[in-house]
């Protein structure tokens, strides 16, 4: 089984691996979604992260919620920047999933300066999220993002508002960027001090897709061999306190869950450097 730890100060104890429901984006066959749910239940995963912008994902998750709502901490996201737009999107997300509330509502990919000012200002999406919490539509509020500036922007967001969670990339290639590594370390310190959950994404990234055939649904090229995924997963989970959100492709899910279930110590940097050189790992964001 996959280890668990408190999800920040929310009161929930989540598995350290969180199911990233972007993997359900284009799935429509019931047997495909059922196989995914079975894998989560088999490994004891108790936390699902989805978003309004993930295609069919919220509807597919909603099919599970009919029988399994009590089994999962349920999170979704709004990518709207105004309060009006976010209010409507939040309601639509609840309707698609067939639930009266979620456990965590996140402001999605909030890294652009202008969008940040809109979302965090008067009449912005944060107002709608706070209203949703007051109305019992969510218990907690988080913020997510991509790119090399995301850790710095999350620190700025935490100075403005008491978010319950953050979400951002963590993989070996990206942490070789000294500036990003420093920002990430400072964010990790703040999150630990304030009891804020720290979710990570892109943990098994190989690099940007090249010009060849795209063999997986992820928008980056992933590691695919079990041994390589083992190293990448152990390296991410070797960072104290973080959670690992799974990749956006259901075919990779069993390998990630298997790696996390078997566990093991964090690989030393020389072993990760050897993996990076052997596989030609490259930063997804520069």
What dihedral angle (degrees, nearest 10) is formed by the CA atoms of 228, 230, 236, 237? 180
Q: What is the pLDDT of residues 75-90, one digit of tens each?
A: 999 999 999 999 999 9
Residue 256 C-beta-side C-alpha neighbours within 13 Å: 30
Task: Report pLDDT for 70.
Answer: 97
Of the candidates 148, 147, 145, the one whose C-alpha atom is nearest the C-alpha of residue 157 is 145
Q: Which residue has the tokens 């152990």?
A: 234
Question: Alpha-carbon Rg of the chain, whole angstroms?
Answer: 18
Q: What is the pLDDT of residues 190-215, one digit of tens each?
A: 999 999 999 999 999 999 998 889 99
The residues with which 35 forms a beta bridge, in sequence order, are: none
Q: What is the pLDDT of residues 130-152, one digit of tens each?
A: 999 999 999 999 999 999 999 99
Task: Report pLDDT for 225.
Answer: 98
Task: Report pLDDT for 27.
Answer: 81
Domains by residue range for the chain, with CATH = 4-279 (3.20.20.100)
3-class SS string, the chain: CCCEEECCCCCCEEECEEEEHHHHCCCCCHHHHHHHHHHHHHHCCCEEECCCCCCCHHHHHHHHHHHHHHHCEEEEEECCCEHHHHHHHHHHHHHHHCCCCEEEEEECCCCCHHHHHHHHCCCEHHHHHHHHHHCCCEEEEEEECCCCCHHHHHHHHHHHCCCCEEEEECCCCHHHCHHHHHHHHHHHHHHHHHCCEEEEECCCEEECCCCCCCCCCCCCEECCCHHHHHHHHHHHHCCCCEEEECCCCCCCHHHHHHHHHHCCCCCCHHHHHHHHHHHCCCCCCC
Task: Report pLDDT for 116.
Answer: 98
Task: Report pLDDT for 110.
Answer: 98
Task: Report pLDDT for 164.
Answer: 99
Task: Report pLDDT for 1.
Answer: 84
CA pair distance 193, 171, nearest whole angstrom: 23
For residue 28, name the pLDDT band (cuts at 50, 70, 90).
confident
For residue 272, name the pLDDT band (cuts at 50, 70, 90).
very high
């Amino acid at each position: 089984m996959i280890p668990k730890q408190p999800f920040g100060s929310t009161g929930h104890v989540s598995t350290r691996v969180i199911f990233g429901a972007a993997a359900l984006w284009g799935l429509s066959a019931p047997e495909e979604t059922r196989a995914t749910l079975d894998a989560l239940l088999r490994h004891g995963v108790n936390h699902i992260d989805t978003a309004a912008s993930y295609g069919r994902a919220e509807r597919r998750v909603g099919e599970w919620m009919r029988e399994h709502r009590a089994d999962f901490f349920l999170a979704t996201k709004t990518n709207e920047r105004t309060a009006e737009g976010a209010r409507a999107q939040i309601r639509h997300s609840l309707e698609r999933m067939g639930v009266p509330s979620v456990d965590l509502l996140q402001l999605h990919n909030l890294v652009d300066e202008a969008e940040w000012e809109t979302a965090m200002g008067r009449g912005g999406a944060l107002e709608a999220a706070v209203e949703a919490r007051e109305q019992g539509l969510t218990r907690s509020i988080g913020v997510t993002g991509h790119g090399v500036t995301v850790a710095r922007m999350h620190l700025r967001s935490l100075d403005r508002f008491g978010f319950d969670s953050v979400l951002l990339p963590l993989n070996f290639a990206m942490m070789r960027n000294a500036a990003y590594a420093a920002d990430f370390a400072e964010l990790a310190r703040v999150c630990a001090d304030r009891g804020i959950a720290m979710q990570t994404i892109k943990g098994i990234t190989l690099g940007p897709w090249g010009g060849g055939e795209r063999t997986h649904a992820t928008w980056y090229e992933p590691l695919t061999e079990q041994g390589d995924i083992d190293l990448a997963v152990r390296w991410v989970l070797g960072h104290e306190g973080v959670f690992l959100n799974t990749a956006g492709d259901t075919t990779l899910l069993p390998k990630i869950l298997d790696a996390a279930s078997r566990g093991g110590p964090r690989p030393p940097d020389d072993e990760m450097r050897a993996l990076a050189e052997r596989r030609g790992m490259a930063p997804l964001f520069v």
